């Protein structure tokens, strides 16, 4: 038998490939998939303009109401700098706008699951199922950045703020917003794959996560105003670091990479450490959502 098999191999030796052929995903095809899925999401947003308008009005209401409520408060909210409360509040509301929009990034996926459209996408000749993740994050980033830009322009005009930011600070703030959007969108997409339906998704995001995350951060008040137990919770919340980095870059004229953003008797964190922490959380969340889509649909 061995002699016959060797003869067969020698006879057909020229048909045996000399190299191991590896198949790689076509990057151009992946880009096309992301483009088409993102286009579908943009069309959905275009057909529902009211949701976009409400998402812009809501943070403006927060700014108006809270700014008016504490307008004459005789307190130093930003260390030793005497600033008005609405100036202190602006960075917190901007970051929370990014959080509030990103937490709903998985909503289109969960509706596609319920209506059966997700199954059509998965059985189509799609080369990379991660295109679903990339397109949802890209769509959320575009819409949220547009909202934040509109809110920022309105608040600067309303407050008659003539302060100019350095290019490095603008790039830093833009990067912080991008990291928050990407990280929270990944968590939202992960929830969209594991939760049974949109009722549970909306209940968790709107009732259990949204407002507690806002109040358990420094968006509305500094750490010095809080009891110790709430300070600990705020320091666990990643939004606190994003808010404090943006707040320092806007209000603190001596801002640099070593500026302390968390300064308590039991914890000190500077800007550099805060950025590293946000990047680490961002990578973990992104890998988590890639793992769940591979586990459920590959």
pLDDT tens string 190-245: 888 888 878 888 888 777 787 788 888 888 888 888 888 888 888 888 888 999 88
pLDDT tens string 100-144: 888 888 888 888 888 877 777 777 766 677 778 888 888 889 998
User: What is the average pLDDT across 168-179?
Assistant: 86
CA distances from 280 to 65, 159, 220, 275 (A): 35, 35, 25, 9
Neighbouring C-alpha atoms within 13 Å toward the C-beta of 208: 7
In sign, the C-alpha dihedral spanning 136, 142, 147, 151 is positive
Residues 6+ apart with CB under 8 A from 241: 261, 262, 269, 274, 277, 278
In a domain, residue 207? The reply is yes
In sign, the C-alpha dihedral spanning 73, 78, 82, 87 is negative
In a domain, residue 287? The reply is yes
d(CA 111, CA 119): 12
pLDDT at 14: 53
In sign, the C-alpha dihedral spanning 192, 149, 223, 172 is positive
Neighbouring C-alpha atoms within 13 Å toward the C-beta of 109: 32
In a domain, residue 4? The reply is no
Q: Which two tokens stand for residue 136?
A: 């949802």
In a domain, residue 15? The reply is no
In a domain, residue 280? The reply is yes
In a domain, residue 159? The reply is yes
- Residue 23 binned pLDDT confidence (cut-offs 50, 70, 90): very low
In a domain, residue 94? The reply is yes
| Percent of all residues in the chain with a pLDDT value above 70, rounded to a whole number | 81
Domain that residue 72 falls in = 29-297
Tally of structural domains, the chain: 1
In a domain, residue 7? The reply is no
| Residue 162 predicted with pLDDT over 60 | no
Kind plus residue range of the DSSP H or E element containing 282: helix 271-297
pLDDT tens string 49-88: 887 788 788 778 877 777 777 776 655 555 556 677 777 8
């Amino acid at each position: 038998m061995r002699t016959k098999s060797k003869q067969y191999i020698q006879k057909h030796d020229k048909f045996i490939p000399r190299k191991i052929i590896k198949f790689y995903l076509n990057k151009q095809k992946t880009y096309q998939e992301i483009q088409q899925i993102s286009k579908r999401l943009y069309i959905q947003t275009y057909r529902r303009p009211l949701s976009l308008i409400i998402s812009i009005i809501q943070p403006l209401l927060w700014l108006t109401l809270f700014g008016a409520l504490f307008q004459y408060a005789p307190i130093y909210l930003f260390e030793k700098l005497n600033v008005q409360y609405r100036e202190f509040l602006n960075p917190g509301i901007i970051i929370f706008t990014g959080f509030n929009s990103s937490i709903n990034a998985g909503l289109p996926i969960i509706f596609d699951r319920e209506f059966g459209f997700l199954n059509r996408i998965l059985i189509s000749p799609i080369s990379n199922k991660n295109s679903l993740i990339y397109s949802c994050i890209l769509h959320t980033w575009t819409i949220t950045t547009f909202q934040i830009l509109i809110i920022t322009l309105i608040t600067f005009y309303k407050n008659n703020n003539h302060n100019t930011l350095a290019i490095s600070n603008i790039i830093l703030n833009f990067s912080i917003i991008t990291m928050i959007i990407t990280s929270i969108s990944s968590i939202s997409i992960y929830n969209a794959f594991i939760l049974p339906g949109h009722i549970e998704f909306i209940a968790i995001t709107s009732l259990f996560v949204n407002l507690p995350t806002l109040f358990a951060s420094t968006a509305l008040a500094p750490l010095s105003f809080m009891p110790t137990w709430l300070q600990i919770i705020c320091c666990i919340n990643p939004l606190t670091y994003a808010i404090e980095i943006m707040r320092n870059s806007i209000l603190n004229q001596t801002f640099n990479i070593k500026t302390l953003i968390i300064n308590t008797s039991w914890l000190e964190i500077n800007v550099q450490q805060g950025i590293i922490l946000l990047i680490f959380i961002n990578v973990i969340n992104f890998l988590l959502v890639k793992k769940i889509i591979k586990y459920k649909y590959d």
